[in-house]
Amino acid sequence: MSPLSDQISQLRTFFMNELRSTSSSKELEDLKVKYLGRKGLIQSLMVELKNAPVDQRPHLGKLINDLKEELISHWDHTLLRLKEEETLNAFAKERIDATLPGRRPFLGRSHPLAQMLEKIVDILIGMGFSVQLGPDVDSDYYNFEGLNFAPDHPARDMQDTFYLGGDLLLRTHTSNVQVHAMENFEPPLRIVAPGRAFRNEDISSRSHVFFHQIEGFYIDKDVSFADLFATMDEFLSKLLGEKVQTRFRPSYFPFVEPGVEVDVRCTACKGEGCRICKRTGWLEVLGAGMIHPKVLQKGKIDPEVYSGYAWGMGIERLAMLQMGVSDIRSFTQNDLRFLSQFP
């Protein structure tokens, strides 16, 4: 037997003796460096191999490689055993008081916008409205043309609307439900349409590329502005939890004639003027008006027989006012620290 063969045998014995005496993963790592590292004892045997007789080198080289694989296998098994022992020891050191009450799991809750939308829908259902949903992706006809938007209206420009190709786009308001509903149902119609809307705008603390709206409309014989005023007064009083003073200002929307902006007396300062109402004492909450005769015609309803009113409001704006939120982006960032404030 050659001297190198004796060294291989002795190295195996030394390694196994030291391996049996290791008691931690740190000691085991040091052992790996000593025997299997780049400058370890196995590598020194490979250096000695070039001094062995030429005819013995293949055999001795195989012995060294076999030894290396054997030591790695023993080392891996020992590492697994030591880690299991260390984990068990760590658990054993924990002091558990079985008399302590268990930790209550975190319970999910509705998103604050979903809470606000549900509250609004419940009020309107109680006032006799039914709920209809419309598609997020719709045609130009239902989003614009059927609602009396002129071909050159600014809202049709690419700067405001996400066009998907052909005649399709992401709806810019939930008003697209109006023509769908008029085509599918006979008057009288008393409908609310909640949902998402999309506009190609710069994202800031007060605007976003997608948001939530709720559209309401009522079509029947002899519907008048007085019906709209009475509905808005009752709805806003129920929504805000108190009898509120409303104000109607003339405004323009292509699908109503005449159109109005609806304000309420600021609920925070009671009309005295504050930061929330920009010192005016009033808060703008929705747009409304009498449905334009051309929109009724698009929906195959005779404007000589029927009339109606429509109104729409943004959910985010109302939620920001009622919940004291200053940045609309907070609703979409999924930060549990923010969301958990609204049980």
Q: What is the 3-state secondary structure (H, E, C) of the chain?
A: CCHHHHHHHHHHHHHHHHHHHCCCHHHHHHHHHHHHCCCCHHHHHHHHHCCCCHHHHHHHHHHHHHHHHHHHHHHHHHHHHHHHHHHHHHHHHCCCCCCCCCCCCCCCCCCHHHHHHHHHHHHHHHCCCEECCCCCEEEHHHHCHHHCCCCCCHHHCCCCCCEEECCEEECCCCCHHHHHHHHHCCCCEEEEEEEEEECCCCCCCCCCCEEEEEEEEEEECCCCHHHHHHHHHHHHHHHHCCCCCEEEEEECCCCEEEEEEEEEECCCCCCCCCCCCCCCCEEEEEEEEEECHHHHHHCCCCCCCCEEEEEEEEHHHHHHHHHCCCCHHHHHCCCHHHHCCCC
pLDDT in tens, 258-273: 999 988 887 667 777 7
The per-residue pLDDT for 281 is: 82
* pTM for the full predicted model: 0.65
Q: What is the pLDDT of residue 212?
A: 93
pLDDT at residue number 337: 84
User: What pLDDT is recorded for position 2?
Assistant: 65
Q: Cα 40 to chain center, whole Å?
A: 54
Enumerate the domain spans of the chain: 3-93, 112-339
**pLDDT value at residue 306:** 95
Considering the four listed CATH numbers 3.40.50.970, 3.40.50.11240, 3.30.930.10, 2.130.10.10, the one that applies to the domain covering 112-339 is 3.30.930.10
pLDDT at residue number 35: 82
Sheet order of strands, 256-265 included: 130-131, 189-198, 210-220, 307-314, 282-291, 256-265, 246-251
Taking 50 as the pLDDT cut, the residues of the chain under it are none
- The confidence score (pLDDT) of residue 214 equals 94
pLDDT at position 276: 65
